[in-house]
Amino acid sequence: MGKIIAIHSYKGGTGKTLFSVNLATTFALKGKKACLLDMDFRAPSLHAIFKVNNVECWLNDYLNGTCTIQKALVDLSEISGGKGKLLVGLANPSTEAIRDMSAKDRKWEMRALGRLLSLRNSVLDEMGMDYLIFDTSPGLQYSSINAIVSADLVFVISTIDASDVQGTKRMLCELYDLFEKKTYIILNKVLMDISSKRGKEELSERLGNTHTLPIFEIVPCFCDILKAGGTYIVAKEKPQHFFSKMLCHMTEKINHL
Amino acid sequence: MKKRDFSTKKSLLILEKIKESLEKLNQKMEVMIELQKHGKTDTENFADITAPLDVMTLLSMPDHLRKTAITVCRLGRATAEEVAQQTKRARAVESAYLNQLVLMGYLKKERQGRKAYFYVDKENKE
Ligand SMILES: Nc1ncnc2c1ncn2[C@@H]1O[C@H](COP(=O)(O)OP(=O)(O)OP(=O)(O)O)[C@@H](O)[C@H]1O
Ligand SMILES: [Mg+2]
C-alpha cells in the first residue's frame, strides 16, 4: 500500500520544493515508484526544475476535470537511470493559468478536493505507485489544504525564523490537528552547529519547548545548494553530498512512519 | 453567609440546566422549522439548500461534524454504518451527525431499498 505525502510550510521559500523534488528523486533512485505533483498553482516551479515545457496536459486540467490523471503526468523515470519510476504532474506556469486558478470558487475547490482524494485509488492502487508527493504553496491556501486533507503524512518545512516557527506551531494545532494528520517538522536552513552541545542549546532556546514539537529532521544550510539555486537535482547529481545522504536516511524513516 | 453561598450555587446550577435544556429544545425547533418550511417530514430529498463542502468550510466546523464530513468526502458515498466503521463511533451517533450535515446543506441523502446513502453533491446547481 502506497503513501501520500504533503509538503507544506507556513512561510514561503523554506525549502518545500527542494525537499519534494529530492525526496521523489531519492525514492526513484532506490527503485521505488514515485509520483510528484506541483500543487503550487500560484508560483509553479517543477516545470523549471525538471526542464519540461511542453506537456499534453497540466495538473490544472486534471483538477478542472478535462483530462485523466494519466494524461497529466510526465514520465521522468530516466532520472533514476531506469532503477525506479518518477512521474511528475506540472502546474501551468502561464500568467493566464495562474490568474484562472486564483479565481476559483468554493464549489470548484470542493470538486478539486474530490479529485485529489480519488488519486489514492488511481495513482496508488491502479497505477501501483509507492509514493504520491504534493509540493504545495505556503500558508493557508485552498490548494495546499486540499493536498493536506488528501495526504497520509504531512511534512512542514520551517526555518528557525521566529515568525516561521510561531506560524508553524499555530498550524500544528489549528490546521493539521483539526484534520487529524500525522505531521512532522523538518527544520531547514539551520545555521547552528547541532553536533555541538552549545549549538543544540542555541537551537532549543530559539524554538522554545522543542520536546513538544514533532521534529523529524534538522537540516543545515548548504552554501553550494543555495548557490546552485535549483539548476540541478542534488540527490541525482551529487549522491555523495551530505544533503543526499540525509534524504536517503529520511526515505528509510518515512517507511516506518 | 455560608448558607447563602450554597443556595446561590444551587440556583446557578439549576439555571445552567434550564439553559442547556432550552438550547437543546431550540436546536430541535430549528430543525423542525427547516423541515416545515420545505414541507418535509424527513431529511430525505432535502435538496433545496446546498452549500459547498470545501476545506475552509470543513475547517470552521465543530470537530465532531468535521470528522463525519471528511469521512464522507473520502468514501464518496456511504451509509451511517460505513461512516461509523471509519470513525469508530456508534452508528446512531453518525446517523445523527449525517442528518445534521444534510440539513445544513453539505450532504445529500438518498434511499436505496432499506439503506440510506449520504454523499457530497458535486453537481453545479447555482
Ligand atoms: N538546506 C538548504 N541549504 C541551502 N539552500 C537551501 C536549503 N533549503 C532550501 N534552499 C534554497 O532556498 C531556496 C528556496 O527553496 P525552495 O524553492 O525549495 O522553497 P519553497 O518552500 O518551495 O518556496 P515557495 O514557498 O516559494 O514555494 C532555493 O534556492 C533552495 O535551493
Ligand atoms: Mg516551492
> Which residue range forms the structural domain that includes residue B60?
2-120
* C-alpha pair distances (Å), A134 with each of A47, A84, A125: 14, 19, 17
Q: What is residue B9's predicted lDDT score, i.e. its pLDDT?
A: 83
On chain A, the residues whose CB falls within 8 A of the CB of B65 are none
- Please state the length of chain B: 126
Q: What is residue B10's predicted lDDT score, i.e. its pLDDT?
A: 86
Q: Assess contact for A17 and A230: CB atoms under 8 A.
A: yes
A116-150: burial string, b at 16+ Cβ within 10 Å, e else = bbebbebbbeebebbbbbbbbbbebbbbbbbbbbb
Pairing of strands A153-158, A182-190: parallel
Asked whether residue B58 is domain-assigned, the answer is yes
Look-up: residue for cell 518518477? Answer: A86
At CA A195, angle to CA A19 and CA A138, rounded to 5?
25
CA B25 to chain centre: 14
Asked whether residue B125 is domain-assigned, the answer is no
Cβ contact (<8 Å) for A114 and B52?
no
Asked whether residue B126 is domain-assigned, the answer is no
Distance CA A44, CA A51 (A): 12
Asked whether residue B24 is domain-assigned, the answer is yes
Asked whether residue B8 is domain-assigned, the answer is yes
- Residue type for B107, please? L
Question: Which grid coordinates belong to A61?
Answer: 486540467
Interchain CB contact of A162 with B (< 8 Å): no
A234 Cβ neighbours under 8 A, 6+ residues apart: A18, A22, A225, A228, A241, A243, A244
Question: Which grid coordinates belong to B109?
Answer: 441523502
Interface of A with B in 163-182 (CB under 8 A): 175, 178-180
Instruction: Give me the CATH number covering residue B69.
Output: 1.10.10.10
Q: What is residue B39's predicted lDDT score, i.e. its pLDDT?
A: 53
Kind and range of the H or E run holding A183: strand A182-190
Q: What is residue B34's predicted lDDT score, i.e. its pLDDT?
A: 56
Return phi, psi of residue A242, to 5°. -60, -35
The pLDDT tens digits of the residues spanning A141-157 come to 999 999 999 999 999 99
Pairing of strands B115-119, B108-112: antiparallel
Answer whether residue B119 shows pLDDT above 70.
yes
* Mean pLDDT in residue range B19-42: 66
Low-confidence ranges of chain A (pLDDT < 70): 210
Q: What is residue A206's predicted lDDT score, i.e. its pLDDT?
A: 87
Question: Which grid coordinates belong to A62?
Answer: 486534471
Distance from CA of B11 to the nearest CA of A (A): 37
Answer whether residue B36 shows pLDDT above 70.
no
Nearest C-alpha in A relative to B68: A179
Distance A21 CA to ligand 2 centre (A): 10
Answer whether residue B44 shows pLDDT above 60.
no
Best mutation site among A64, A105, A107, A142 for testing chain B: the one with the most B CBs within 10 Å?
A: A107
Distance CA A48, CA A44 (A): 8
Burial of A233 (0-12, 13-18, 19+ CB in 10 A): buried
Asked whether residue B21 is domain-assigned, the answer is yes
End-to-end CA distance of chain A: 13
The total domain count for chain B is: 1
Look-up: residue for cell 552554501? Answer: A223
Distance A36 CA to ligand 2 centre (A): 13
Answer whether residue B116 shows pLDDT above 50.
yes
Question: Which grid coordinates belong to A19?
Answer: 525537499
Asked whether residue B98 is domain-assigned, the answer is yes
Asked whether residue B43 is domain-assigned, the answer is yes
Return phi, psi of residue B122, to 5°. -100, 0
Q: What is residue B126's predicted lDDT score, i.e. its pLDDT?
A: 42
Pairing of strands A215-220, A182-190: parallel
Domains and CATH numbers, chain A: 3-255 (3.40.50.300)
Answer whether residue B40 shows pLDDT above 70.
no
Question: Which grid coordinates belong to A118?
Answer: 480519488
pTM, entire model: 0.87
Residue B50: which region, alpha, beta or left (left: phi > 0; alpha: psi -120 to 50)? beta
Residues with CB under 6 A from ligand 1: A 9, 12-18, 40, 43, 138, 188-189, 219, 221-222, 225-226, 229-230
pLDDT band at B32 (very low <50, low <70, confident <90, very high): low
